[in-house]
Chains A and B, each alone.
Chain A
Amino acid sequence: MKLIDTAKILRSKNAGPLYITYDIIFENAEQMKKIYNALTKEQIAAAYDVDVNSITIIPYEIVDSIKITFPRKMVSGCIREDDVYGCQQHMPLANLEVNV
C-alpha cells in the first residue's frame, strides 16, 4: 500500500531555509501506530537520497500524526532551487510502499 493511501493529510513545508518538514495525519491512533512502526528512516533516506542519520521521525499522538524532518538538499532560494516554500516535496514520501 502507498503511504498516501493510509493518510488523511500528507504535506511538506519549509521549516526555516534549511529544513523541510513532513506531516502525515491519519484517521485514527491505530492507523498512526501501524504506520509509525512500519515506516523506516532507511526508506525515507532512499526516497529522498539523503543521509539516514539526518532524519528525525516523531510521533505526535494528539492529532494521530507523524512528523518527519531532515535538512533540505537545496538551501531556500539557491540558484537551482525548485520549490522555495517546500510545499510540493511530499510525493516521494506519498509514493512509499508500506507493509500494513
Chain B
Amino acid sequence: MKIVSLCGLLGYGYSETALEAAFAEKVDYVGVDAGSTDPGPYYLGSGKSFTDRGAVKRDLSLALPKILEQKAPFIIGTAGGAGSQAHVEWLLEIIREIAAEKKLSFKMGVVYSDVSKDYVLQKLDAGKISNMSDTFPLDRQAVEESSRIVSQIGIAPIVELLKQKVDVIVCGRACDTAIYAAPCIYEGYDPGLAFHMAKIMECGAMCSEPVAAADVMQAYIEKDWFQLRPANPARRCTVARVAAHTMYEQTSPYLIFEPDGVIDLKDTTYEQVDERTVRVRGSKFTEAEQKTLKLEGVRCVGYRTICVGGIYDPNTISHMDFIEETVTNFIHESASVTPDNYHLNFRRYGDANSNMCVVIDVVGKTQEIADMICALARSRMLHCDYTGRKSSAGNVAFPFSPSDIHVGEVYEFSVFHLADVDDLNETSAVRIEEVIA
C-alpha cells in the first residue's frame, strides 16, 4: 500500500515535479500535517494560523485534483495550525474555495477536537489528569482562565470516517502520527510499523537528503516492513538519515507515545534497499491499559508592544546596564500605572565587541498600558545620559518609523497534560459535508 505525504507542513510548499512523480504510481492514501505547537501558544489563543493562507491554498490546489482523481482518501491533521474549531473553519473555507474554482465535488469528513473547561475540570477533580512534566502541574485556575482548549485526537475518529468512505478528512488538533497511521491500521497493517512510519512521514521529506520539510515523501507498507522513498528524484533516503530523523524532536529515540499505546523501536532495523530507498522492520506496538489524550490550552496574559533599536557606539554599549536601570527607575517613578500592570524586558543581542540590537519588550495588562510603557522606555533610553557620554544626540538607531510595534495579545500555555479516557472518541465530534462544485 502506498501513502504519500505532501510535505512536512501544509503551506510550507513542495515541488511540482515531486508531486507528479508521486502520482505517476497508484496512490492509496495521502496525508499532510497542517499544524504544530512548535510556534508557541499564540496561534491557539488567537484562532489564527502561523501558516499563510495563500501558501496553504497553493499546496492544496495542486494536489486536490490529483488526489480525487486517484480516489485516495486525503487526511489533513491539525487544520489551521492549531486545530481549534476556528482553525478548522479557516481551512474548510479554503477547501470550499478551491472546490468551486476547480469544479471539484467530494465527500468531506470533519473532526472537531475542542474540549470544554468543564470537561477538563471534571477530569481534574476525578484525578484523571497527569503531568507531562513535573515542572508543569495543572490547577483549576489555569483551566478556568483558558481561552481555548483542544485535545490531540488519535486514530479513532479518522478510522470512523474512513469507514464511511469520505474523500477528504479535515481534523482539528490531531497527533501528527494519526494522519498516516489511521489508514494503515484501518487497512489491517501492523500498528507498530504504521505508527513508526507515520512518525517519519509527518515531517515530509525531512528524513531524506538533501533534507527538506518542504517536499513530497512516499511510504510503502507491507505485512512485515515499510519502505521510505522521496518522491523528488533529486532526494534520497539513507539509513543514517531515516534513523536520525526517528529521534528528531522526540524525548526518547526508542519510544513513541500515542493515545492508543507505545511504540518500541529497540528492535527496529533499517536496511538500504536501493540508492534512494530505506526499509524498516521490527517496530513494535504495545496497547496501553489506560488510554490517554493530550490536552492543550492557552490563556491570555497581556498585550505586547515592542521597539527595536541598534547601538553602534561601544561606549554606549558598555553603559547598557546603567541605561536599563535608569530607564526602569524612571518608569517606576513617572508612569501613571504601577509596575504590577506590566512586564518590561530589555532584550539585548550582541556585545561590546560588536553592534548591539536591543528590543524593548513590554507586556501590559492592556494594549494601552503596553504602548505607554514602551513609548516611555524608548524615549528615555534614546536620551539617557551616562558618565563620559560624547554621543549626546541619541543612544539608539531606530530602523523603523513608527518605532513601536503592536504585537497584540500574548498567550501562554495553561494546559499541556494527559487525560485518562475510557473512549478515544470522547473528545471529538465528527460530521460529514458534501462539497459540491
Q: List chain A residues, Cβ under 8 A from B270.
A: 62
Q: Which of A23, A71, A82 contacts B247 (CB 8 A)?
A: A23
What are 26 A-B contacts defined by CB distance under 8 Å? Answer: A14-B249, A15-B251, A16-B416, A17-B37, A17-B40, A18-B136, A18-B416, A21-B250, A21-B251, A25-B244, A56-B252, A58-B252, A60-B253, A62-B270, A63-B247, A69-B251, A69-B252, A75-B412, A75-B416, A76-B41, A77-B411, A78-B412, A80-B343, A81-B40, A84-B38, A84-B39
Whether B251 and A79, one on each chain, are in contact in the complex, defined by CB atoms closer than 8 angstroms, is: no
Whether B343 and A71, one on each chain, are in contact in the complex, defined by CB atoms closer than 8 angstroms, is: no
Contact flags (1/0) for A54-70 with B, using CB distance below 8 Å?
10101010110101010
- B97-136 contacts to A, CB under 8 A, are 132-136
Is B330 in contact with chain A by the CB < 8 A criterion? no
Is A85 in contact with chain B by the CB < 8 A criterion? yes
Q: Beyond A54-B135, A65-B244, A77-B413: 11 further Cβ-contacts under 8 Å? A: A13-B248, A15-B249, A17-B41, A18-B132, A62-B239, A62-B243, A63-B240, A65-B247, A71-B136, A75-B135, A85-B39
A14 — nearest CB in chain B belongs to which residue? B38
In the assembled complex, how far is the CB of residue A64 from the closest CB belonging to chain B, in whole angstroms?
Answer: 9
Is B285 in contact with chain A by the CB < 8 A criterion? no
- B207-253 contacts to A, CB under 8 A, are 239-240, 243-244, 247-253
Contact flags (1/0) for B29-42 with A, using CB distance below 8 Å?
00000000111111
Q: List chain A residues, Cβ under 8 A from B240.
A: 63
Whether A58 and B133, one on each chain, are in contact in the complex, defined by CB atoms closer than 8 angstroms, is: no
Q: List chain A residues, Cβ under 8 A from B412.
A: 75, 77-79
Max chain A C-beta neighbours (<10 A), residue from B39, B244, B251, B254: B251
Is B301 in contact with chain A by the CB < 8 A criterion? yes
C-alpha gap A14/B413 in the complex (Å): 14
Interface residue count on the B side (C-beta < 8 Å): 35
Is A36 in contact with chain B by the CB < 8 A criterion? no
Asked, given contacts A17-B41, A82-B347, A85-B38, whether A75 binds B136 with beta carbons under 8 Å apart, the answer is: yes
Is A19 in contact with chain B by the CB < 8 A criterion? yes
Contact flags (1/0) for A24-42 with B, using CB distance below 8 Å?
0100000000000000000
Q: Which of B42, B135, B249, B411 contacts A21 (CB 8 A)?
A: B249
Max chain B C-beta neighbours (<10 A), residue from A17, A54, A81, A84: A17
Interface residue count on the A side (C-beta < 8 Å): 30
What 10 A-B pairs come out closest when comparing CB atoms?
A77-B40, A60-B253, A62-B243, A77-B41, A18-B133, A71-B135, A71-B133, A84-B40, A69-B251, A63-B244
C-alpha gap A54/B411 in the complex (Å): 26
Max chain B C-beta neighbours (<10 A), residue from A13, A56, A75: A75
- B358-408 contacts to A, CB under 8 A, are 363
B135 — nearest CB in chain A belongs to which residue? A71
C-alpha gap A23/B239 in the complex (Å): 17
Is B345 in contact with chain A by the CB < 8 A criterion? yes
Q: List chain A residues, Cβ under 8 A from B37.
A: 16-17, 76
B245 — nearest CB in chain A belongs to which residue? A63
Whether B243 and A63, one on each chain, are in contact in the complex, defined by CB atoms closer than 8 angstroms, is: yes
Q: Which of B135, B345, B347 contacts A18 (CB 8 A)?
A: B135
